[in-house]
Structure 1
Amino acid sequence: MSYKVSFLTRWSDFDPNNHLRHSAYNDYAAESRVRLFTKYGLSLKEFNKLHIGPVLFQEKTNFLKEIAMGEDIIVEVLLQGSSTEGERFKFLHNIYRSDGELSAQIEVFGAWMDLSKRKLTTPPPIIIEALKQMTKTDKFEIIPLPQHYPN
């Protein structure tokens, strides 16, 4: 079963056109990822203990239906891709209006960073296990790692 979070939207999430502002969608997607990892025992405190954190390379949002002032939302988080050792990841966030209509889709692509060395790294087993347990999209892909060239 996919991971879903319900949110009560806030007045500050809306723009002068009385619909959810573009950046609020991404804020709710990020909050959903934090909650999803917490479900797998990876709270922000635990990430700090492990000296690791996610870093995003790309964030792509497709807006499909308007979310009106005062409307609540549901965010679904799915794993869209991962490298074989979990070094890279892609998540898909489906954002639904309170009537169940798909309002937006957000794809994020990123990697794990060693917070001490400030370099990309392979995640520890607890993160790899969490990725394995996540619901995958129908378009799940194995992400190839970039080739490294000698200097």
Structure 2
Amino acid sequence: MTVSAGWGRTRAMAEPYVQEYRARWADMDFNQHMRNAAYLGVAEETRLRFLESGGWTMAELYRRRLGPVVVEDLLTYRKELRLLEPFRVDMAVAAITPDARKMKVRNRFFRSSDAAACATVESIILWFDLEARRTIVPPPELGQLWLGLARTEDFVRMEG
């Protein structure tokens, strides 16, 4: 099975999801490299693009009154990204419950020019019923989208 990877590309379900970006002026900090909040924002954007590529648009999530809630982020820096520098972000699952209610998603940032690893964002995510204000098991098709995403080399099964 393949899904759209954006920009007219497709990918096999067992491959990491990949998106390309450029570091923007608004992403820079005082030291003239990408600021921490920008890394978190790009990780969020990548997750939302992944959902959309699997048929889960923001309108559909809103219609169903459900959404992903990040309860923890861990950001690790390795190399700098500078203004207008192109980079790519891949995404894979590091841990997930069998019902996809809770997961740890890992985004890795790489400079396009030399493929240098720049940063990693690991996020613990829960699915949330926006009306009942509680965690839920996502609809089966949505759960399968996440369960079908590539797994990291150190993947572990997560308990609910």
Which whole-Å deviations, capped at 9, do the CAs of 1:33-86 have from their partners, x for residues lacking one? 000111111111111122110111100000011112221110101111111111
Structure 2 residue aligned with 1:88: 102
Indicate yes or no: 2:79 matched with 1:65: yes
Highest Rg: 1 or 2? 1
Length, aligned pairs only: 145
TM-score (norm 1): 0.92
Structure 1 portions without partners, runs of 5+ = 146-151
Moved over 6 A (4+): none
Structure 2 residue aligned with 1:26: 40
Indicate yes or no: 2:147 matched with 1:129: no
- Which whole-Å CA distance do the structure 2 matches of 1:130 and 1:70 have between them? 32
Structure 2 residue aligned with 1:16: 30
1:46 to 51, 54, 60: 60
2:92 to 41, 66, 78: 78
Structure 1 residue 91, shift from structure 2 partner: 0.2
Q: Helix, strand or coil: the match of 1:36?
A: helix
Give the letter aligned to residue 115 of structure 2. G
- Which whole-Å CA distance do the structure 2 matches of 1:22 and 1:132 have between them? 28
Which whole-Å deviations, capped at 9, do the CAs of 1:61-116 have from their partners, x for residues lacking one? 00011112221110101111111111101100000112210000010002111111
Q: Which has the higher strand share?
A: 2
Alpha-carbon RMSD across the aligned residues, in angstroms, is 1.0
2:156 to 124, 130, 141: 141
- Which whole-Å CA distance do the structure 2 matches of 1:10 and 1:110 have between them? 26
- Which whole-Å CA distance do the structure 1 matches of 2:22 and 2:48 have between them? 17
Structure 1 residue aligned with 2:11: none
Indicate yes or no: 2:52 matched with 1:35: no
- Which whole-Å CA distance do the structure 1 matches of 2:110 and 2:53 have between them? 21
- Which whole-Å CA distance do the structure 1 matches of 2:61 and 2:101 have between them? 15
